[in-house]
Structure 1
Amino acid sequence: MDNAVALVQAYLQVNGYFTVTEYPVLEAARHGIETATDLDVLAYRFPGAGRLLPAKTGGPERWMTTIDPALGCPADQVDMMIGEVKEGRAELNRAARDPQVLRAVLVSFGCCAEQHVAPVVERLLRNGVASLPSGHQVRLAAFGSTVEAGSHGYHAMELGHVVKFLQQYLRDYWDVLRHAQFKHPAFGFLMTLEKAARGGNR
């Protein structure tokens, strides 16, 4: 997995999203099936998502929930995000704006029936966000090292903000997280950095 994609995946998971990275979109070509593109990240969040820390001995349970306001996720609506991740400028590539690609993703994940998907994709490309017949929200997002000022027609976020948010999350919940071993490449590396910075002051 690309390092930048791994950072964004960790960030979205901390914010309560289920994620799929580098998702291949297939198409029927003239000489067989081909990969049209790989989408960097698809994310899905239910309202009220968070991490529950159960009490094994009957003591008080702990609810670990952190939602970054900059992410703009709705409080009372299922949110699906189709995201591109760049190490340079945050922007959507041509494939992420391809109506056929977006149709395939929404139908494949069961978010929208095939007979309803065309107008949803049209609104998504026009506004960067659309409501599905199910009541769910779907939106386009781009992550990168820089974000140009002005309207983009999609949600744009700097990777620097992503890193700072993850570091603050580690500090806020260090008393819990320091006991865990994380296999995720980005989050695990940030854990190692935090342990090294703290030294004996754990």
Structure 2
Amino acid sequence: MTEEEPMDTAVSLVQAYLHVNGYFTVVEHPVLERLRGGQVRTVTDLDVLAYRLPGAGHDLIHRRSGTGPQRLSPEVDPALGAPTGRADMIVGEVKEGRARLNPALRDPATLEVALARFGCCPAQEARDVSRRLLNHGRAATRAGHEIRVVAFGGTPGHVEPHNPWTTVPMNHVVKYLQAYLHAHWQGLRHAQIHDEGLAVLALMEKWGLSHPAAGRLPVP
């Protein structure tokens, strides 16, 4: 994504959702293919690549009280299906409609390039890992972390059936963010929020327009 191109709204919301769950993210990353004659074409854009270290969360510092940091969210949303006790990398596809993978992302070569590019596994291991990812939806690397394919999109009744990867409905993403803002508003209302999607939801919380069920949704 270039500076001139606005981020897709659904991708922005997923990025915010992953951020509050402790993930570092790269969004809309192009996968390029070199053609004959030296020309280059874009095969696809990877909507989101995310990485989370074990135990990641948000801490508040109490400078005057002398107490230790206060952790806002020590747990990751169970809907993400993150592994326990090991680093987690997500290759995510984001759709406004049915949650599914683009044809290019179903190509092991595309995943192989992405995995090798970001250094999550050596190039000689990336081919095997990419094939296991497509067959099983997740794969452990020799380095000890886990890589998973996650499709975001639609609603629970509009997902691609019989697939091995994790699916997270977009309506859950939005409700989770609203619940997170509502539960931690006393601290977050002082923060400068730069995630575009989260910033809009924060304004809604500030104006009293948050989802009516936000206070009842379970948020770590």
- TM-score of Structure 1 vs Structure 2, range by shorter chain: over 0.9
Name the CA distance, whole Å, in 2 between partners of 1:150 and 1:100. 24
Structure 1 residue 152 corresponds to structure 2 residue 160: no
Indicate the residue corresponding to 1:75 in structure 2.
84
Name the CA distance, whole Å, in 1 between partners of 2:106 and 2:209. 44
Indicate the residue corresponding to 1:27 in structure 2.
33
Q: 159, 164, 173: which is aligned to 1:162? A: 173
Q: Please state whether the residue corresponding to 2:34 is helix, strand or coil.
A: strand
Indicate the residue corresponding to 1:55 in structure 2.
62
Q: TM-score, normalised by structure 1?
A: 0.94
Mark the CA change 1:198 to 1:2 in structure 2 (over 3 Å): closer, same or farther.
Answer: closer
Structure 1 residue 126 corresponds to structure 2 residue 132: no
> Which consecutive aligned stretches of 4+ in structure 1 deviate over 6 angstroms post-superposition?
none
Q: Aligned ranges for residues 93-112 of structure 1 at < 5 Å?
A: 93-112=102-121
Name the CA distance, whole Å, in 2 between partners of 1:2 and 1:57. 41
Shift of 1:95: 1.3
Q: 22, 38, 48: which is aligned to 1:41? A: 48
Is the CA contact (8 Å cut-off) linking 1:92 and 1:141 kept in structure 2? no
Amino acid in the other structure paired with 2:175: K
Shift of 1:125: 1.0
Q: Please state whether the residue corresponding to 1:197 is helix, strand or coil.
A: coil
Indicate the residue corresponding to 2:99 in structure 1.
90
Name the CA distance, whole Å, in 1 between partners of 2:44 and 2:126. 19
Amino acid in the other structure paired with 2:177: L
Is the CA contact (8 Å cut-off) linking 2:153 and 2:159 kept in structure 1? no
Higher strand share: 1
Name the CA distance, whole Å, in 2 between partners of 1:91 and 1:149. 6
In structure 2, stretches of 5+ residues that fail to align are 1-6, 211-220
RMSD over aligned Cα, in angstroms? 1.5
Q: TM-score, normalised by structure 2?
A: 0.86
Structure 1 residue 7 corresponds to structure 2 residue 13: yes
Name the CA distance, whole Å, in 1 between partners of 2:142 and 2:193. 37
In structure 1, stretches of 5+ residues that fail to align are none
CA displacement 1:88-125 (0-9 Å, x = unmatched): 00001111111111011110111111111221111111
Shift of 1:197: 0.9
Shift of 1:151: 2.9
Moved more, 116-125 or 143-152: 143-152
